[in-house]
Amino acid sequence: MATKSRSTFKKRQKELLRQQRQQDKLSRRVERKKEREDRPDENFGNEDPDIAGIVPGPQPLPDDDF
C-alpha cells in the first residue's frame, strides 16, 4: 500500500506544478497584451510615399485615359 500513496502523491505534485505553470503562462499573456496596447504603433507616420493613399482592391481609372 505504501507504493500506491507515493505514486498518488507524486501525481498530485505533478498536477499542481502543471497548474502553476498554466497560471504563469496566463499571467504573462495578459501582461504582454497590456504592454502591446500601451505601446504606440511603430509604423505610424512611416508610410511608404510610393503607396500612400492606395486602397486595396480595384483602383479607379485615371481621367486622362479617355
Q: So what's the pLDDT on residue 53?
A: 78
CA distance 7 to 13: 10
Q: Which amino acid makes up residue 18? A: R
Answer yes or no: is pLDDT of 4 > 80: no
Residue 28, C-alpha cell as written in the block: 504573462
Q: So what's the pLDDT on residue 48?
A: 81
Q: 15-65, pLDDT tens digit by residue?
A: 999 999 999 999 999 999 999 888 876 666 677 878 887 788 887 788 775
Q: So what's the pLDDT on residue 38?
A: 86
Q: What is this structure's pTM? A: 0.51
Answer yes or no: is pLDDT of 6 > 70: yes
DSSP-assigned letters across all residues of the chain? -HHHHHHHHHHHHHHHHHHHHHHHHHHHHHHHHHHHHHSPPTTTT---TTSTTPPSSPPPPPGGG-
